[in-house]
Structure 1
């Protein structure tokens, strides 16, 4: 029986290098650095979560505090069910590769993600398959957006490492560290910043 995929969000803005998706569950966005996927015309696009934000649906209108008389955060939403329709949680994801003809390629796909395409979480098996080579790190280091490339790269590598067990986890981090050392040989400060966050 095939695994049941977890549908997290829907693409609402798209470009050649990434996409923004609106989460279906306001309080359950994918974690920073996690790997997600969406598809277009038979091509699976892989992306890393680089930024998550929850804002009002109405431009210029900010949420107001509602929990003074409530015992828990959950009680705030229970007492104000309209919040689910007044707020939105968005994820900005950076494309780190794609799969075409059963081969994973660590460079940008020929076409951007589909508008209103569904976004799914990648399970550990998919994460390990994607990370067998380290070419995607180049895309992370050059990412632009609301999170620094250093923070995002370290978050993604920590997330990938967590999909491995025991000695394989340490082996993966060593492999990633060597790849980083080669890519950032002329920028010790950036390399040090990322490696410190990997070992923390």
Structure 2
């Protein structure tokens, strides 16, 4: 992981949190992680929380409301609004596990992070380490999440993780993940079908 250029890249700071999820803020000019990406937050005492970006929210304000009604806005004004004004992008993060004293667990973190804690994007090495630990039990957090587009979140995450695992030599990881999803939803056909449809698109993107 030491050679992974994406490890420990700060993408924002914590705004609010509970035991299951948190919201972080970052500036639009920052290269924030896409929907479904794995991120980590250092909780101190050798504990880190892991979560998936489950929503990206860009708020408006009075100036933006005025600008959108202005014809022919110059590119300079648009870039000034995006780069120089401190209107944060909010990243919602669904917790899916934690690391304690170097050991990864697919259980909720022992406590939520605190305000202004750093949120970091996980590079491929961290993604592989987290998704290879245990027996993919963390997928239940996605499938059981309320008020989230579970099928799309799962597909986005498995695309990132499937690529990372394939690049690190494990070409069977994605198939094991699908088997785990089918096992967890085998008694809920209504939920299983849209999930499998979304994962079929991921398979095509991965060339599997």
- The bucket for the TM-score relative to the shorter chain is 0.7 to 0.9
- Tell me the C-alpha RMSD between the 2 structures: 2.7
Say whether the 8 Å CA contact 2:67–2:73 is kept in structure 1: no
Q: Deviations over 1:82-111 (max 9, x none)?
A: 864252200000000000121110010110
Report what 2:12 is aligned to: 9
**Which of 37, 42, 53 is the aligned partner of 2:40?**
37
Q: Deviations over 1:28-80 (max 9, x none)?
A: 3210000001011221100000000111367x97463267253x5xx4434x3
Query: 1:19 matched to which residue of 2?
Result: 22
Question: Which residue in the other structure is 1:91 paired with?
Answer: 91
Tell me, yes or no, if the aligned pair for 1:8 and 1:25 is still in contact at 8 Å: no
Counterpart position of 1:113: 113
**Superimposed CA distance per residue, residues 104-137 of structure 1 (whole angstroms, 9 cap, x where no aligned partner):** 1001011011211000000001000100131110
Distance 1:155 1:67 in 2: 36
Aligned pairs, how many? Answer: 194
**Which shifted more, 104-113 or 157-166?**
157-166
How far, CA to CA, are the matches of 1:120 and 1:188 in structure 2? 36
Aligned to 1:162: 163
The TM-score with structure 2 as length reference comes to: 0.82
* Cα distance change of structure 1 residues 83 and 102 upon mapping to structure 2, 3 Å threshold: closer
Deviation string for 1:139-173 (max 9, x for gaps)? Answer: 1111234x322221222112211213369565121
Residue matched to 2:143: 141
TM-score by length of 1: 0.85
Instruction: Name the SS of the counterpart of 2:33 in structure 1.
Output: coil
Question: Which structure's residues are more often helix, by fraction?
Answer: 2
2:41–2:119 CA contact under 8 A, matched in 1: yes
Distance 1:20 1:8 in 2: 12
User: Runs in 1 of length 4+ with deviation above 6 angstroms?
Assistant: none
Q: Which runs of 5+ in 1 are unaligned?
A: none
Note closer, same or farther for the CA distance 1:12–1:69 as it changes in structure 2 (3 Å cut): closer
Whether 2:51 is the aligned partner of 1:47: answer yes
